[in-house]
Structures are given as C-alpha cells and as structure tokens.
Structure 1
Amino acid sequence: MTERQQGGRAARAEARREAIVEAAMAEIAERGYRATTLAAVAERVGLTQPGVLHYFPSKKHLLIGVLEARDQWDTAALLTRSTDVRLSHLEQIVEFNAERPGIVQTFTALAAESTTGQHPAREYFTERYAAARVVFAELLRKEFGDRLPGGLTPEQAAPLLIAMLDGMQIQWLLAPDEVDMPAAFRNFVALLGAGDHVENRADRD
C-alpha cells in the first residue's frame, strides 16, 4: 500500500470515528448515558454494532471519546493553550456554545449523571472541576489581583464562576428563547465588578 493510500485510509477512519462520536452525543443528549446503547449509536451512524466496536472497544471507550471531543472546545483546553486569557475571552466561548446546543446538552446530561453511583464519567468530571477551579482562580487573579472588588479571593470566586456558566447552560437549554447566555455572562461579570474593566480590555485585544 502506498503512502497516499495509507493516508486516505487513515482519513476515512478518522471521519468514521468522528461520525460515531457525533451519533453518541446525540443519543446521550436524548436518552442519557445509561439508556444509550451501542446498537442505537450504530443504527444512527449507519453501522453494525461490531462496526462501532471496531473503533471503540466498549461503551466506556465511546464515552471517553465523547468527552475528549467535547474538551477540544472546552474552556479549560483554551486556557491551557494561551498565556493571556481573560474574562473577555470566556465570553467568546459562551457565544460559541450558544451555537452548538447538542454538545452542550450532552455535556450537561453526562455531568448530572456522573454524580450518581459508580458512573464511568465520575472521575473525569471530578478531576475536570478540580482543575477548572484552579484555572479560573488564576484567571480571576489576573483580572483583580488577590481580592475581587466585593472582597472575595479568586479561589472563593472561581467555583461561583463555574457554577454560573454551567447553571446558565441548563436554563438556556430549557428556554433558549428567553435566556441569552452571552448577555447573562456579561451581567455576571458586572456583578464581580469587572464590567468596564473587561470591556476595555476586550477592545484592546
């Protein structure tokens, strides 16, 4: 097999993996992880169940693939790739999420389910939120120093920022015509005392 043929086969395999992940995201968003079956995912993507297992050896492997795909666009991933991310950049992430309800719905469903029993995503979300608290605290410290205008430390405010972002997504999923996520984020930043500060910085970026 030539190098070109190998490259074409690899590209097709990657495209098939992406299609399977997208199908799994849709199933999880509609049914939840526990009720999602490999057979349903296979039917949605036009494969047999053995065909899906060729790319993902188990349902747990498929779940990991879904979470990894989601994290390609996650805020934490953005923060690790930039040396000067500010609150104004988070608004861009919020705006982007507002354009992909399916992925947001999948993530929200998995996050809620992971709190129950021995869910296979529990460790992932536990570690994700622990890391996010650290990253968001560093971000807030860049903006405000060791104390926010209201007196909170960045470490105290970081969980509130995360809770606002995730909770806002739930409200938006339930009432997308009533909840403006980017506007809600800007309002929250204003509550932190950063409204003008962030807006001026965004104009310079």
Structure 2
Amino acid sequence: MTAEPRGGYAKGRAKRLEIIDQAVAMFGEVGYRGASLRVIANRGGISHTGLLHHFPTKESLLLAVLEHRDHMDEAWLTRDGAAGVDQLRRLTELAELNTTRRGIVELFSVVAAEATSAEHPAHGYFVRRYENSVASTALAYAQARDEGVLRADVDPDTAAQQLVALMDGLQVQWLLSGCATDMAGVLRAHVRAQLTVAL
C-alpha cells in the first residue's frame, strides 16, 4: 500500500534535483536576474506549471539552489569523519573547487550582498548560513587546538570569523580579477600561519 507514495516521493525528489541542476546551470550562464523559470522548466523537461508545483517562486528556487550547494559542500568537508586540521585543509580545497564553478560563486556573492537587507527573501537563509559556517569552522579550530597543533595565540572563535570573511572576500576578488586571484593559495597560507604543523 505504501510503495506507490514512496515511488512518487522519490520521483518528485529526483525531479526537484533535476530542476535545481538546471537552475544552477542557467544562473551560471545568465545570472539570477536574467534566468527565466519557463526556460529552466523547459530544460528540465517539465511544464512551467509543473515547476511551480515544486518551486512556487523564483526566490524559492534560488534558496533551494543555495541550500543544495551548502548540503553538497558540507558533505564533502566532513566526509570520512574529517575534523580539526583535516577539515581546515578541506576548506582550502573547497576554495580550489570553487574555481571550477564560477556561476555559483558569482550567484552566491551577489545574493549574499543583496540579502543583507532584512526584506530580502534570502535574508534568513544567509543569517543562518553564516552562524552555522562560523560555528563549524570554530569547532574545527578548537579540535586543532585539542590536537595540540593550533598556535597558542589563536582563538578558535575569532579565527573562524576571520577565515569565513577571508573566504568570501577572496571570492569577490577572484570574480573581479577575471579569476586570477589564487583563492586556495591565500587561504592555505593564512591557515598554515595559525598552525604548528604543515597543512
């Protein structure tokens, strides 16, 4: 009796992911403002009405794209139980990965700036995202301290705020430099200076 609903749910989830993939591609090509829900629906092999069933507004699709990116990045950062120095190393590798996805980096940077307004539909998402990013990075620094490899003068909470700010600032510099800024190299040097072991 429950097989059909489960199958329907799985198909619906697969279709949502397909729409998100198409949205990521289109946002990367023409930006969020230039993207059309009708074109995204067409590329995903679904009607405009069908897309609206999953994502009733363009803003809801944008949030789904950003949340999907965060979910994938978080899974990558913590795979194999990475923690402490390993997780800090992965953050520098994430900057390297981001050089292969300019569209999503640009989307994130633009929307993050716009979402500083409390009226922006993504404001709450970014508030939570920054709270979570700083907290998880502070935990990685604290774990590095517990491993005995964090310099004594480095405070995990302050270091986490600095690293998250540095990552986002480097993304803007990278975009404005025509992708010439070495995001991963700068991050690696910054974190290496905070540790007593090689990164």
TM-score (norm 2): 0.76
Aligned to 1:105: 106
> Which residues in structure 2 correspond to 1:24-103 (within 5 Å)?
24-29=23-28, 30-32=30-32, 36-43=35-42, 45=44, 47-75=46-74, 78-79=77-78, 82=81, 84-86=83-85, 87-103=88-104
Report the alpha carbon displacement of residue 95 of structure 1 after superposing the two structures with TM. Answer: 2.3
Distance in 1 (alpha carbons) for counterparts of 2:80 and 2:11: 28
- Identify the range of structure 1 (10-19 vs 181-190) with the bigger mean alpha-carbon deviation: 10-19
Distance in 2 (alpha carbons) for counterparts of 1:168 and 1:14: 34
Report the alpha carbon displacement of residue 123 of structure 1 after superposing the two structures with TM. Answer: 0.5
Distance in 2 (alpha carbons) for counterparts of 1:32 and 1:116: 17
Report the alpha carbon displacement of residue 131 of structure 1 after superposing the two structures with TM. Answer: 1.7
Structure 2 vs 1, CA of residues 111 and 26 (structure 1 numbering), >3 Å: closer, same or farther?
farther
Aligned to 1:184: 186
Residues matched between the structures, number: 195
Report the alpha carbon displacement of residue 20 of structure 1 after superposing the two structures with TM. Answer: 1.9
Distance in 2 (alpha carbons) for counterparts of 1:88 and 1:198: 10
SS at match of 1:95: helix
State whether residues 24 and 65 of structure 2, in contact with CA within 8 Å, keep that contact through their aligned partners in structure 1.
Answer: yes
Distance in 2 (alpha carbons) for counterparts of 1:44 and 1:112: 29
Report the alpha carbon displacement of residue 43 of structure 1 after superposing the two structures with TM. Answer: 4.9
Structure 2 vs 1, CA of residues 109 and 28 (structure 1 numbering), >3 Å: closer, same or farther?
farther
Structure 2 vs 1, CA of residues 117 and 26 (structure 1 numbering), >3 Å: closer, same or farther?
farther
Report the alpha carbon displacement of residue 26 of structure 1 after superposing the two structures with TM. Answer: 4.0
Report the alpha carbon displacement of residue 111 of structure 1 after superposing the two structures with TM. Answer: 1.3
Letter in 2 for 1:143: A
Distance in 1 (alpha carbons) for counterparts of 2:115 and 2:152: 33
Report the alpha carbon displacement of residue 162 of structure 1 after superposing the two structures with TM. Answer: 0.2
Which structure 1 segments of 5+ residues have no match?
Answer: 200-205
Aligned to 1:163: 165
Letter in 2 for 1:68: E
1:131 aligns with 2:132: yes
Distance in 1 (alpha carbons) for counterparts of 2:116 and 2:27: 16
State whether residues 170 and 183 of structure 2, in contact with CA within 8 Å, keep that contact through their aligned partners in structure 1.
Answer: yes
